């Protein structure tokens, strides 16, 4: 297992992190299965576990807490808040009112007195950077969080938050968690260079592109991934952008085979090869999934393989641009464009 320093925090983290989104109802993973996955991951050298309050409406955090009982000091524990937890309009976002209250609930679910990294799950346009950063700084000073970061922020919001922290003499985001894979390379244009500029640690989520790069989606084979049942449009091969992804996967599979690698090793090795990326977050539902992904822990792609990938999906290109998850609200809501 490779280890890198998480931004400027001084914390050494494994190049693969265990994502816990599939624990519970989302991935239909039981507590016993989740505990076995956590134990196997820690034994293999992974020392980062990433979860969120939104995953199963707290269920994932509860399962992670039970799984790490007795091993808390072995784990760099990360969670997130900000996504809607129910229909109450104040049970979401990045206001002081919500973050302070929700962190206490997350700590209770996890069974710990602090988390190592607390992340704002999405940029909240209704809340000022000063409000959010002030709340997070106070939580840090109270010892409830060691560091804090952002997740899926557009590059200009990452910059704005850094300037707001400086202007108001507050602690700053030290990490960013973007979606990044061979098939979704848009963050290479702005987000990753900005992260490097500000010395942020980067934890890349969905490095296997929701299963597209797991080997489960191939030409002439019925799409049978767990995500396909949850998000059928994302795997509908009659859609042009999905055909483009499938064509790319077929070509990438040949590159992997010629290099003596699995497609998973190629995909994870690509993400961890970027100099801005600290960690690739894997999200196995089973121990078999974990084993195939751990095989990429020490994968280092040579220049010719990286060049071959660039020839299939050009740098900075998203093959499914509508799945970026960081589109400015004004582009999604006509009322915000015309008010």
Residues forming the active site: 55
For the chain, the helix, strand and coil percentages under 3-state DSSP, each to the nearest 5: 45, 15, 40
Residues 105, 59: Cα–Cα separation, whole Å: 12
Nearest to 114 by CA among 172, 170, 72, 51: 72
173 neighbors 162 (Cβ within 8 angstroms): yes
Give the SS3 label for residue 12.
strand
CB 244 within 8 A of CB 319: yes
The set of residues, in sequence order, having a beta carbon less than 8 Å from that of 234 and lying 6+ positions away, is: 210, 227, 228, 242, 320, 323
Do the beta carbons of residue 156 and residue 123 sit within 8 Å?
A: no
As given in the structure block, the two tokens for residue 304 are 């010719």
Torsion of CA 313, 315, 319, 324, to 10 degrees: 150
Rg of the chain taking only CA atoms, in angstroms? 19
User: And the tokens for 317?
Assistant: 């290109």
Spatial contact of 20 and 64, defined as CB atoms under 8 Å apart: yes
Cβ atoms of 256 and 174 closer than 8 Å = no
Q: Report the SS3 class of residue 260.
A: coil
* Strand bridging mode 12-14 / 3-5: antiparallel
Q: Which tokens hold the place of 29? A: 């993973």
The DSSP result for 13-40, as a single string, is EESEEEE-TTBBTTTTB-HHHHHHHHHH
């Amino acid at each position: 297992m490779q280890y890198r320093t998480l931004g400027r925090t001084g914390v050494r983290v494994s190049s693969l992190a265990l994502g816990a989104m599939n624990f519970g109802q989302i991935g239909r993973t039981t507590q016993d299965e989740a505990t076995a996955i956590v134990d196997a991951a820690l034994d293999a050298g992974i020392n980062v576990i990433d979860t969120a309050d939104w995953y199963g409406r707290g269920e994932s955090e509860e399962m992670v807490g039970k799984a790490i009982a007795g091993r808390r000091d072995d784990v760099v524990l990360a969670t997130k808040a900000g996504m809607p937890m129910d229909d109450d309009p104040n049970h979401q976002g990045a206001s002081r009112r919500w973050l302070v209250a929700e962190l206490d609930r997350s700590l209770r679910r996890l069974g710990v007195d602090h988390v190592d990294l607390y992340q704002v799950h999405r940029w909240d346009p209704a809340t000022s950077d000063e409000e959010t950063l002030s709340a997070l700084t106070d939580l840090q000073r109270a010892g409830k969080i060691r560091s804090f970061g952002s997740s899926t922020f557009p590059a200009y919001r990452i910059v704005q938050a850094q300037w707001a922290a400086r202007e108001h003499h507050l602690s700053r985001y030290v990490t960013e968690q973007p979606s990044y894979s061979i098939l979704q390379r848009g963050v290479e244009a702005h987000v990753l260079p900005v992260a490097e500029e500000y010395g942020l640690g980067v934890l890349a989520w969905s490095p296997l592109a929701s299963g597209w790069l797991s080997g489960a989606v191939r030409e002439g084979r019925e799409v049978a991934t767990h995500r396909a049942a949850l998000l059928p449009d994302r795997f509908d091969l009659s859609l042009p952008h999905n055909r483009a992804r499938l064509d790319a996967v077929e070509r990438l599979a040949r590159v992997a085979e010629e290099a003596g690698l699995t497609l998973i090793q190629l995909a994870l090795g690509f993400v961890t090869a970027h100099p801005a990326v600290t960690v690739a977050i894997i999200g196995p539902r089973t121990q078999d999934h974990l084993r195939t992904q751990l095989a990429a822990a020490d994968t280092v792609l040579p220049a010719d393989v990286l060049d071959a990938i660039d020839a299939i999906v050009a740098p900075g290109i998203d093959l499914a641009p509508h799945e970026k998850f960081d589109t400015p609200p004004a582009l999604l809501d006509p009322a915000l464009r015309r008010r």
